[in-house]
Amino acid sequence: MTAATLSAGAMRAAPNEATRMAQQDTMLTPRFYTTDFEELDKIDVTPVRAEWDLLIAEMKSDPNKGHFTRNADWKLELEKIPEPLRKEFIDFLVSSLTAEFSGCVLYAEMRKRGTNPDICELFK
């Protein structure tokens, strides 16, 4: 069974298929990387301090916090999306969730291992 043959109900009932999709290597989703935490700690933002502080302030203000709110205008019936588009949509969702999770893990590790206060602040 492939993602293209799964209905929305089947996707909820078959998380293992979604997991298998997320584990596939593609050009855009390599699965193996390493983070050099020592190199991150060596980063000096002094030459761009003003811009850095503005960036951090913007991130803290979270201007997109309410941007992606699902409301009555957003109605999606996955079963009604044409098959090729539905497959691409499911692939996009799986890739997005995988990337978000990977980012969360990286951010948590940087906060735990990092010693550079500027970089640790970035990963909050």
Q: How confident is the model at residue 1 (pLDDT cuts 50, 70, 90)?
A: very low
CA gyration radius for the chain? 19
Q: What is the pLDDT of residue 31?
A: 57
Q: Give the angle 94-98-100 at the CA atoms, nearest 5°.
A: 120
pLDDT digits (tens, 9 = 90+) for 71-120: 777 777 777 889 889 888 888 888 888 888 888 888 898 889 999 999 99
pLDDT tops 60 at residue 43: yes
CB 42 within 8 A of CB 113: no
Which pTM does this prediction carry?
A: 0.56
Q: What is the pLDDT of residue 115?
A: 93
pLDDT tops 70 at residue 2: no
Q: How confident is the model at residue 19 (pLDDT cuts 50, 70, 90)?
A: confident
Q: Distance between CA 47 and CA 13 in Å, rounded? A: 52
Q: What is the pLDDT of residue 28?
A: 57
Q: Is 60 helix (H, G, I), strand (E, B) or coil?
A: helix
Phi and psi dihedrals of 17, rounded to 5?
-65, -45
The per-residue pLDDT of the chain, averaged, comes to: 80
Letter for the amino acid at 87?
K
Q: Where are the domains of the chain?
A: 34-60+82-124
